[in-house]
Amino acid sequence: MKLIDGKKRNTEEDFWGKVLIPDDSNGCWLWLGYTLSHGYGTMRYGGKNRRAHRLAYEFTYGQIKQAALVLHLCAVKNCVNPLHLYLGTPHDNAQDSINDGTMARGISHGLTKLKNNEVREIRLLASGGLSQRQIAKKFGVSKSSICKIVHYENWGHI
Ligand SMILES: [Zn+2]
């Protein structure tokens, strides 16, 4: 807590103090603070009630646009591991649900559906320690496709 304009305000330190980081830091980091009835964590920050996973994303990667969604790669709503979070649009959110149910469709499309920035993101997530299986699920492509991208056997020009 810090005093700002005479008011007690939560700091970034207060935020991470409420997070349970497991021994294997690639696992889910659970939010131990206040949790809303629909499962998302929340904390007052900057004079506003904020979603915990959005704050985790901002503290790690920088400010996000109000309209952007911070989505989970894992299905754990109160997880705030920045590696499990990614930025998306409402369209991605819907697409996620579709991919969850019909992985095969994504695989049949193969690599052609990936955009250049997605290929870069895949390599970034892999270097950040996310498993190829999790990345494959996020992008709706096969694990072998991810493996080829990570090892520059495919999309080597990017
Ligand atoms: Zn997680």
**Does position 107 have pLDDT exceeding 60, yes or no?**
no
129 CA to centre of ligand 1 in angstroms: 13
Considering only residues 101 and 30, tell me which one the structure prediction assigns the higher pLDDT: 30
- Measure the CA–CA gap between 4 and 82, rounded to whole angstroms: 27
The dihedrals phi and psi of 114, each to the nearest 5 degrees, come to -80, 140
156 CA to centre of ligand 1 in angstroms: 30
8 CA to centre of ligand 1 in angstroms: 30
- Measure the CA–CA gap between 115 and 109, rounded to whole angstroms: 13
Q: Scan for tokens 């989970």, then name that residue.
A: 72
Which range among 24-28, 67-71, 121-125 shows the weakest confidence by mean pLDDT? 121-125
Question: What proportion of the chain, given as a percentage, has pLDDT over 70?
Answer: 82
53 CA to centre of ligand 1 in angstroms: 10
pLDDT of residue 113: 62
Give residue-wise pLDDT tens across range 111-158.
456 777 788 888 888 888 888 888 888 877 888 888 888 877 766 666
Sign (positive/negative) of CA torsion 73, 79, 83, 86?
Answer: positive
* pTM value surpassing 0.85: no
**What residues pack around ion ligand 1 (CB closer than 5 A)?**
28, 74, 76, 79, 81, 84
Whether residue 70 contacts residue 87, with contact meaning beta carbons closer than 8 Å, is answered with: yes
